[in-house]
Amino acid sequence: MAELNFQHAWKRAWFGPETFLPGAGASDAAPNTTTVVAINSGHTVGIEVGEINSLKLNSYKLNTNGNLVRAIAQIPDVNTAAPVFARVVWTSGSSTAEDTIVWKVAVKVQTADAALTVTDPTTVSLSDTALGTAYCLQKTPAGTFAAGVIDNMDTFILEVEMDAKAVGLSEDIFFLGVELLYVPVVVADLGQALASLPSGWPGT
C-alpha cells in the first residue's frame, strides 16, 4: 500500500546513560560506590557516576556547569522533511522549586573517511525548573532541530551538557537520558501531512 495513503506518525529514539558510557545504568554490585570517569568533561577530575537516591540505579552526576557527555549515534529511519525535537530527562536531589537548570543538546554530523569532530555542532538550549520534590523524574521542554539537520544516512555525535544551574543548587543533578522525537520514513516522502504531536511535546 502506498505511503501516500498514510499520515506520518511520530517516533521516539531514546538515548539512556548506558549509551554514553558502558557501566552506567542499573547496578546491584556495590551500589553506593562512586566512580569517577574521565569522559568528555570540561573538568580534569572527570564526571561522577553515582547511585540515584538509594535505588541501586546509577547514572551521571552533571553537577558542575559545563559538564557534558557524548555518544556516537544514528537514526536510520529519520525523515529529513520533518523537524526533530529533543528533550532531556533528568532528576535532582533538590527540593527547591525555584532551582532552574539549563541543558544543551547538540548534534554534530560526521563525514565518512574524515576525522571525527565536535566543532560547530547544531545546538538547542532547554531550560527547566525543579518541581520542589527531590528525585522526581523530569523532562525538559522540547527544543527543535530543523528538518534536515539529521539525515537517515548520518552518523552523528550526540552531546548533552548541563550548561548552568541556579545559584545555591548544591544537590546532585543526574542525567537520565535524552529523547529525540522524529518522523520515520516508511517508504519514501511523498509530501504527506504530519500527524499531530504526542501529548507533552511542543504545541500540545
Q: What are the beta bridge partners of residue 135?
A: none
Strands 156-165 and 100-109: antiparallel
- Confidence band for 18, pLDDT divided at 50, 70 and 90: confident
Report for 12-26, 117-131, 180-194: range of highest mean pLDDT: 117-131
Q: Which residue has the higher pLDDT, 156 or 44?
A: 156
Residue 176 contacts residue 103 (beta carbons within 8 Å):
no
> For the chain, what are the domain ranges?
6-16+65-182
Tens digit of each residue's pLDDT (9 = 90 or more) over 55-95: 988 899 999 898 888 889 999 999 999 999 999 999 999 99
175-196 in b/e burial notation, b at 16+ Cβ within 10 A?
A: bbbbbbbbbbbbeeeeebeeee
Mean pLDDT in residue range 138-156: 94
At residue 6 the predicted structure's pLDDT band, cuts being 50, 70 and 90, is: low
What angle is formed at CA 185 by the lines to CA 184 and CA 189, rounded to 5 degrees? Answer: 130
Assigned CATH for 6-16+65-182: 2.60.120
Which amino acid belongs to residue 1?
A: M
